[in-house]
Structure 1
């Protein structure tokens, strides 16, 4: 009898354990359900049009794509003067203790803001990312709150950040569409600092670090932006490329290898540049909603302001943006200067744009057709002036 009772007890415990393993909690069911299928999206950065989409709304772990938002906030701090490129930041024990990939920073030493930026861009250094986060917000947790708040400002409704590096955290999540919006916002809002993403290598303490984004040297027109990998996400990439004045932003999540991920991105970009009318297949009403939301995220201009600003409307629905500044006067001066550099631009069409969600004043010259804006940007870039075509 005693043996029978023991056997019965073991059976009950085993059944209970099996049930506990198979019954997911409400907390875990809210986490990204990552599988071996990729998620991807390709958008036209000028118009917000979605040229391709596949599982673009599925929740995914961002991994080191997180660092795009980290740098977005760092660039904001640089624009406002809260940080300086050559300012030295203290390396805390917490920052130094981050898991690789890292620069190997030591507690108590210092690193310049610019070196930390380049470490994040090329090496995807987690210690440098935390140093920057602490430099902006004193703690990584406080910085993560700023990251999520900024995501909402940019229309990234499905994204939550818990750290500045992208190291594994079950509550940190995003979607391909949200990351496309972030990539486009980085180009649009920080033309002064975006070129950091095109750095193919960076030397620190005598060690050369190659950029993980191999498409910089392998695909014509790619000038950024960031790779990412953790086991739970697979290999991820946000890439931006320009050809003939036209910029595309692509996102791939969940590649089995870096080379597979890169090959998929090449196919997306090739198709996008080949045929701008190629759209995602499927339900047409859903597609219209996708395009509308993406356009809003990529081009968040106040409708009321655009309607009342005659300078913005002018001859056409496009403008060239030549910078974003903390003061309106500085933005106006740069816009007027840019207008004088290109014969087809008119100084009277120079204006300053600022929507209600941004702290920054964008220097623009408007009243252009799409082709006029692209040609103006081409000329401006040939003269060393950063430029981006935007819809008004």
Structure 2
């Protein structure tokens, strides 16, 4: 072997050895029982990136349940919303979509302009909407979570944990199952645009039902995913991936380990998992976008090559993507009626939603509007 080639190989091996091995947060939960099947650094503070939008959607679902907003009301792109960094919807200033369409674009495309527009429409202002997000987080018992914005673009104070993200996902499914199809949608068509999800499991892993991906340099590539397969209902959280390939393949691998029995209950509920309260959130900018990125990616690829060129993949299914068509309502100005009749609003819930006790502890109800949202809870045992 030529000397230069031996030197390059030795350098690559040394970089792999020195770079951090995979030690980022991983979590697998049985959604039927809330049992933890696997947890690694699940309470470690982490920047959520666009996984923030799980809470953004949840707050909207609460407001829909209280009747303060309707699915038909227009969500208009303000100048502030338009000025957000990508990912974006492509809609111009003053254009509008219905709240229902906005939710689909928020979840599937992870559009930051839509997140701000929704916050301004539903909360009256972005700041007031974020207050609702933090109120919901407190009621859910998310002790590692604090929100500064509704989209997840990086802010040092925007923080969560794998444990808290799993609980948000459980709340969405158990309190508002009617909206779960939004999270399993892979494509939104808006005019000539085809807005696609980054959740590769939706088209490559049988049984995937959602939910959300996210990325900023400070967090790496993250995913919260749900799968219904072989009579099992599972949830996985992967944070800090070095690539979309790694993030998606790791989530699929965790699901396969759970389905095969290699992961089993640890005698702990996800609700009782501890958070590292007070610890500083991990900042991955150097490893993902900075000086250490090359070595970090090389180490991660060496440790987990699934899905790389000429390597096997867990994402081998060929699933037709679920699609949704949104409608651009055009430019809307104050005082101008919508271009279609608006049906009268019928409240989604005529009575408050039943509150559930877990471990004999009740969380506070929603502070405005009187609606009481149940905690995530295990399904009753089959008789």
TM-based fold match above 0.5: yes
2:258 match: 272
Q: Give distance in 1, aligned partners of 2:265 and 2:231.
A: 20
Structure 1 pair 371–273 and aligned structure 2 pair: CA distance change class (3 A): farther
Change in Cα spacing, 1:58 to 1:328, as seen in structure 2 (3 Å) is: same
Give the drift of 1:147: 0.7
* CA drift at 1:222: 1.0
In the alignment, does 2:160 pair up with 1:152? no
Secondary structure of 2:177's aligned partner: coil
User: What's the counterpart of residue 327 of structure 1?
Assistant: 350
Aligned to 1:109: 95
* Maintained 8 Å contact 2:365/2:372: no
Measured in 2, the distance between the counterparts of 1:175 and 1:191 equals 23
Paired residue for 2:365? Answer: 357
Which residue does 1:306 correspond to in 2? none
- Aligned partner of 1:45 in structure 2 is 31
Give the conservation status (yes or no) of the 8 Å contact 2:64–2:348: no
1:206-217 aligned within 5 A: 206-217=192-203
Q: 2:223 aligns with which of 196, 221, 237?
A: 237
8 Å CA contact 1:62–1:172 kept in 2: the answer is yes
For residues 271 and 193 of structure 2, the distance between their equivalents in structure 1, rounded to whole angstroms, comes to: 46
Higher normalized strand content (fraction of residues): 1
Task: State the shift of 1:71 in Å.
Answer: 0.4
- After TM superposition, give the deviation of residue 370 of structure 1 in Å: 2.5
Residue correspondences, number: 279
The CA deviation string for residues 237-259 of structure 1, in whole angstroms up to 9 with x for no partner, is 00011124431111000000011
Q: Quick one: which of 67, 80, 85 aligns to 1:94? A: 80
Q: Which moved more, 1:53-62 or 1:78-87?
A: 78-87
- Deviation, 1:87, is 1.4
1:77 to 63, 66, 77: 63
Gaps of 5+ in 2: 1-19, 275-346, 357-361
Which stretch shows the higher mean deviation, 107-116 or 220-229?
Answer: 107-116
CA change 1:130–1:218 in 2 (3 A) is same
Which range is displaced more, 109-118 or 172-181? 109-118
**Deviation digits for residues 298-332 of structure 1, max 9, x if unmatched?**
xxxxxxxxxxxxxxxxxxxxxxxxxx953238x7x
Q: State the Cα RMSD in Å.
A: 2.6
Q: 2 CA distance for matches of 1:277 and 1:127?
A: 39
Pick the aligned partner of 1:183 from 146, 149, 169.
169
Secondary structure of 2:178's counterpart equals coil
**Per-residue CA distance 1:272-302 (angstroms, 9 max, x = gap):** 222286246xxxxxx74x655259xxxxxxx
Equivalents in 1 of 2:127, 2:254: separation in Å? 36
Of structures 1 and 2, the one scoring higher in RCO (CA 8 A, sep 6+) is 2
Tell me which residue corresponds to 2:12.
none
1:259 aligns with 2:245: yes
For 1:62 and 1:71, the matched residues in 2 are separated by 14
Q: Distance in 2 between matches of 1:360 and 1:35?
A: 44
Q: Does 1:246 align with 2:232?
A: yes
TM-score under structure 2 length normalisation: 0.67
TM-score with structure 1 setting the length: 0.66
Deviations 1:325-372 (A, max 9, x none): 53238x7xxxxxxxxxxxxxxxxxxxx55665252477xxx9x95335
Asked whether the 8 Å contact 2:107–2:182 carries over to 1, the reply is yes
The whole-number CA distance in structure 2 between the counterparts of 1:148 and 1:270 is 34
